[in-house]
Structure 1
Amino acid sequence: MTAHLGRRIAKGAATTAVAALAVAALSASQAPGVTDTPQGRESAGSQASPDPSADDTATDPRYYTDLPPLDSPTDDSSGDEEESGAGIPATVLDAYKKAEAALREARPGCNLPWQLLAAIGHVESGHASGGRVTADGTTRSPILGPVLNGVGFARITDTDDGAYDGDEVHDRAVGPMQFIPSTWASWGQDGNGDGEKNPNNIYDAALAAGHYLCAGDRDLSVQQQLNAAILSYNHSQDYLNTVLTWLEYYRKGTHEVPDGTGSVPSHPSDPVTDASPTPTTPAPTSPAPTTPAPSTPGKGGSEPGTTPPSTGGSGGSGGSGGSGSPSPGPADPGTPGPSDPASPSPTPTDTVHHLENAGTGKLTATAGDTFAGKIVARAETEKGEAVAKVRVRFTITGDTDAVFAGGETVATVVTSAAGTATAPALKAGEKTGDFTVRATVVGRSVPALEFAATVTAPEADALVRTGDAELICAPGAEFAEQVEVRATYKGAAADGVAATATLVRSADDATENDKGPYFEGADGKAVRTLSGLRTDADGLLKLPKLHADDTAGTYLLRITTTGGATLTVELKVAEPAA
């Protein structure tokens, strides 16, 4: 054990240099716009897409800088294997692979490799503290990062009332993938199917991290976009280098080890320097943010949906990069000032007093269509002055399947020089009704600004038959022709329009007839009203076959749609002419 320890300390001392060499080729292809500044991948004055890279507060300032061993990850002959992190605990490895499979189906264009989740999981928490998890993937003790109170780390005031991290004053990153509560609230997932979203469950956290990395329609098979995804987790070049090194290592192969026997890294990027831990949630005393004292209260380990993620959970102030966490800047609401870490310099975010509606009108769209209006919020000081370079998070809430462009329900946007943040285009789903888009300031507790939106059902204003053949059959027989109609709205095919077909008593009496033609139900009984019908993509609606009873005569079939389009079709029940 002594020899192993000495070897790891020596390796840790050279972390930055080795990491730089190990990923030189990989990093060379990084996009010119990708930096480790607080602005991350955004250029000055840009309007962000629904991309979490714009959300610096998703990360906390610490991660593990330990590098992989020089031997193959599948080589289990080395006695130092568990110390080096070559093996991945069985349940944790299963969670990474299940997350990859889920993302392959949900976001096939993302091309997320499970090895990326493993690389991030290693540098964030040492694979859940060496695999100290229960059978369902929940960590045996909550995993908390340092208190983000601006003393040595970023300053993020409480966003979850202590529900996830047990701290009602400041936030802390939570769980094996180190999500900050506010981020988990937006990105949390249920990866093990237990009906809960728990940031301290490796299945939930791994799937959430996968969705976060894939946001903004990224293709992680493209090196530039892969780099951008990792930097969105933690805006640090050294963090990027370290994760890429582990990614390449795991790509060469790996092996599983029993839960609880995995190694835990020993070199955090920066030691915990929390000078004012709360009485209820003491800061971890060990250098790693993986196993806080079990007396930590709060709901971090068991309460569903209580721990917002910090997709970059522990990333960087110091350690491997000297500054790891981004240097102070206007877009980072919680980074302490360079001269006096105990007295953080005010950031633009600190000056925001409220959000104002910046011209957003009535938000209405037909199901399946894109909303014509844009959602625009303006960050202002108490005096009504615009605040630029502030992150505004837009979140879709309510019983709706509406999404932003890219398929996300959350989008973070940086305010322009005019203080405005414009949300990505909003697309209506199939569910009709009202919902809300809530705008909040990332990293600051100010009243949310809510925008009401409504999705209406598709409509038709005209109906016509597609054929002109006479509809006639003998008593007790079946009509040879099926009734087919085309619905249009303002001259264009009206797709997805709800319709009802009823055999009525007369032109002036729309009540259901009790004799004459009928549709046949599943039980073989006569049905004279069909509801829940819907036109296809071309606006066409073809009704089931009609049957006739033994009552001869002329009857009417009336078809109506949402929007008021109506068509009455004549049916005849008579013996054919001699």
Structure 2
Amino acid sequence: MTTTVAAVAVAALSASQAPGVIAGGDAGDGRPTTADSASSGADDTATGNSQYFTDLPPLDSPVPSPSSTAGTPVVQGSAESGIPATVLDAYKKAEASLRASKPGCNLPWQLLAAIGKVESGQARGGAVTADGTTTSRILGPELDGNGFALIEDTDDGAYDGNSRYDQAIGPMQFIPSTWAWAGRDGNGDGTADPNNVYDAALAAGHYLCRFDWDLSDQGDLDAAILSYNNSRDYLDTVLSWLEYYRKGTYEVPDGTGTLPVNRSGGTTPATTTPRTPSTGGASATPRDPGTGKPAAPGTKPPSTPGTSTPTPPPTTQPPASETPPQPPRTPTDTVARLENAGTGTLSAMAGDTFTERISARAETKTGKAVGKVRVRFTVVGTNDTEFSTGERVATVVTDSSGVATAPALRAGEETGPFTVRASVVGRATPVLDYQATVTERVADTVVRTDATTEFTCVAGGAFADQVEVKATYKDAVADGVAATATLVTSATDATENDKGPYFKDADGRAVRTLTGLKTDAKGLLKLPALYADDTAGTYLLRITTAGGAVLDVELKVTAPETASPTPSGSASADPAA
């Protein structure tokens, strides 16, 4: 009874607030737009719209644990408000990480807890090892199209052990194709493992915070949850647990969490209830022979005693020349290929935004443009380049001319070539690869910050001032640019000098070439202190940056002053001496 009441209350609240947002369509920047749920692709959600727990929280509010005051008993309330220690820690660490990296998202850890409850019962009541890895794999049903979405294998069974169909995996129930780009390393072990609650919680946080969603806004919150599993009932269930956990929770030992019982779609995921064919797609309803209106529930069709029920006349078959009606085709069903829609050279300096944006055109076999088709753009490989949305994948809907334009790419720090792959969501067509390159940061000018200082030193001493320079590129600050500093032989001879000024290494030994230098965020580079050997003269310090900017700084070493000679005699000396 309480569960029913709670479900009705949450559904009413949700219906008044939640827009019909799905994962799939977008406005050109990867952000979903309002669309009919029938057009949503299950592989565009975190879980593939897989099975989830439908249990609702109790109606009695949890009682927050009071601060630990001596003599004050700790009232913990309902067992449902207890969350296993390691799982709770993972949620809170994920919230802290997102608060630093995406503060505008306003991700509450209670949302991760609500999703974790609905997806896996908090990792099966906290059945995890000390590092947060589940003691056994948590797998959703086969997504074989039988009662669930049809998602054929995308990971060769690497995560789910199934080489025919995908299955949702881990405590946050990601499908392999989503984990491939959304996975994160939350416990710092160098691996993104969907079976680890720290990794899965951080990945879920990033997934919910993409598209610059602000989860303190009800519309964005609803859209983010629906992108996890595109079901209104799922949204209602998650929102109910979110509200419940916000009222108070407490920590329980791992392995002792309360397990949910009821699942969406029944206890046997692959089983569906057969339906009798009828005009409306539901079971045929008996009708009153006198009025033609539907008979009362439970009424059997009438019959006359002593007579048999007449056999209905045979169904008239359409002529052989007529083609039986076919289900309507969606725009996606007509796509035969993707073509480059005019994308030019893709190159950017590390840390910069690519000026060229990637565009793909969906076409039929005859070359006709196809609108309203979802195209997924994915940054392939391990490089750190991402889209302006902060993610390495973006799904964009084609416009009326069949073109989908990806969000701008933002170059990472890893230089070299990489690939961006475009594919049609929900249809197996050849992928379209775009080659892109990230080049190193460069400077075209380097100047001294104080052009008036003269660098002089007495032989055997130390220079009083340190050399500081500023690098720019096209008159803008050139930050993070690699540089070298060398004491050269002369202006025309760039070989390292073997005498004169020098730097010191960590062991105090003289070095005359410094490598691995980089300008700071303001384009500044301050060199270590300089010293002089016992050779007087004028020397050159050459600073060279990536990109070819060169600056020579003159250094002067003077000979040490000598003492004045003592006179051999004095006019005041005693003549007799």
* 3-state SS of paired residue (1:416): coil
Equivalent of 2:446 in 437, 440, 463 = 463
Task: Call closer, same or farther: CA 1:392–1:569 in 2, change over 3 Å.
Answer: same
Equivalent of 2:527 in 518, 534, 543 = 543
Equivalent of 1:87 in 82, 86, 104 = 82
Tell whether the 8 Å contact from 1:51 to 1:411 is kept in structure 2 after alignment.
no
Q: Distance in 1 between matches of 2:475 and 2:78?
A: 70
Tell whether the 8 Å contact from 1:50 to 1:405 is kept in structure 2 after alignment.
no
Q: 1:92-103 alignment to 2 at 5 Å?
A: 92-103=87-98
Q: 1:112-151 alignment to 2 at 5 Å?
A: 112-151=107-146
Deviations 1:167-188 (A, max 9, x none): 3332222222221111111112
Give the aligned residue type for 1:125.
S
1:111 partnered with 2:119: no
1:71 partnered with 2:66: no
1:401 partnered with 2:390: no
Tell whether the 8 Å contact from 1:558 to 1:566 is kept in structure 2 after alignment.
yes
Q: Distance in 2 between matches of 1:457 and 1:14?
A: 61
Give 1:365 deviation, angstroms.
1.0
Give the aligned residue type for 1:19.
V
Task: Call closer, same or farther: CA 1:559–1:222 in 2, change over 3 Å.
Answer: same
Give the aligned residue type for 1:519.
F
Q: Distance in 1 between matches of 2:84 and 2:446?
A: 63
Tell whether the 8 Å contact from 1:50 to 1:404 is kept in structure 2 after alignment.
no
Give 1:79 deviation, angstroms.
13
Task: Call closer, same or farther: CA 1:496–1:95 in 2, change over 3 Å.
Answer: closer
Q: Distance in 2 between matches of 1:267 and 1:86?
A: 18
Equivalent of 1:255 in 242, 250, 254 = 250
**2:10 corresponds to which residue?**
19
* 3-state SS of paired residue (1:570): strand
Q: 1:187-336 alignment to 2 at 5 Å?
A: 187-271=182-266, 272=268, 274=270
Greater Cα radius of gyration, structure 1 or 2: 2
Give the aligned residue type for 2:58.
P
1:479 partnered with 2:474: no
TM-score, normalising length from structure 2?
0.76
Tell whether the 8 Å contact from 2:354 to 2:409 is kept in structure 1 after alignment.
yes
1:498 partnered with 2:482: yes
Give 1:568 deviation, angstroms.
2.4
**1:49 corresponds to which residue?**
30
Q: Distance in 2 between matches of 1:87 and 1:485?
A: 58
Give the aligned residue type for 1:568.
D
Structure with the greater relative contact order (CA < 8 A, sep ≥ 6): 1 or 2? 1
**1:309 corresponds to which residue?**
none
Equivalent of 1:443 in 410, 416, 426 = 426
Give the aligned residue type for 2:440.
A
1:511 partnered with 2:500: no
Q: Distance in 2 between matches of 1:266 and 1:260?
A: 16
TM-score, normalising length from structure 1?
0.76
Give 1:48 deviation, angstroms.
3.8
Equivalent of 1:571 in 524, 549, 555 = 555
Task: Call closer, same or farther: CA 1:86–1:543 in 2, change over 3 Å.
Answer: closer
Tell whether the 8 Å contact from 2:49 to 2:231 is kept in structure 1 after alignment.
no
Task: Call closer, same or farther: CA 1:169–1:398 in 2, change over 3 Å.
Answer: closer
Q: Distance in 2 between matches of 1:198 and 1:545?
A: 47
Give 1:426 deviation, angstroms.
0.9
Give 1:454 deviation, angstroms.
1.4
Give 1:512 deviation, angstroms.
0.6
The count of corresponding residues between Structure 1 and Structure 2 is: 491
**1:426 corresponds to which residue?**
409
Tell whether the 8 Å contact from 2:2 to 2:58 is kept in structure 1 after alignment.
no
Deviations 1:211-239 (A, max 9, x none): 11111222222222222211211223332
- Structure 1 portions without partners, runs of 5+: 1-9, 277-342
1:553 partnered with 2:537: yes
Tell whether the 8 Å contact from 2:24 to 2:41 is kept in structure 1 after alignment.
no
Tell whether the 8 Å contact from 2:25 to 2:31 is kept in structure 1 after alignment.
no
Deviations 1:477-522 (A, max 9, x none): 2233433333333444433332222111122221111111112222
Task: Call closer, same or farther: CA 1:397–1:88 in 2, change over 3 Å.
Answer: same
**2:375 corresponds to which residue?**
392
Give 1:78 deviation, angstroms.
12
Give 1:13 deviation, angstroms.
5.4
Task: Call closer, same or farther: CA 1:556–1:96 in 2, change over 3 Å.
Answer: closer
Tell whether the 8 Å contact from 1:12 to 1:267 is kept in structure 2 after alignment.
no
Give 1:159 deviation, angstroms.
1.4
Deviations 1:261-306 (A, max 9, x none): 4333333232245269xxxxxxxxxxxxxxxxxxxxxxxxxxxxxx
Give 1:344 deviation, angstroms.
8.2
**1:297 corresponds to which residue?**
none
Task: Call closer, same or farther: CA 1:80–1:360 in 2, change over 3 Å.
Answer: same
Tell whether the 8 Å contact from 1:52 to 1:215 is kept in structure 2 after alignment.
no
RMSD between aligned residues: 3.3
* 3-state SS of paired residue (1:216): helix
Q: Distance in 1 between matches of 2:453 and 2:126?
A: 72
Tell whether the 8 Å contact from 2:6 to 2:59 is kept in structure 1 after alignment.
no
Tell whether the 8 Å contact from 1:356 to 1:449 is kept in structure 2 after alignment.
yes
Q: Distance in 1 between matches of 2:192 and 2:429?
A: 26
Q: Which moved more, 1:210-219 or 1:69-78?
A: 69-78
Task: Call closer, same or farther: CA 1:256–1:523 in 2, change over 3 Å.
Answer: closer
* 3-state SS of paired residue (1:510): strand
Q: 1:345-360 alignment to 2 at 5 Å?
A: 346-360=329-343
**1:366 corresponds to which residue?**
349
1:534 partnered with 2:518: yes
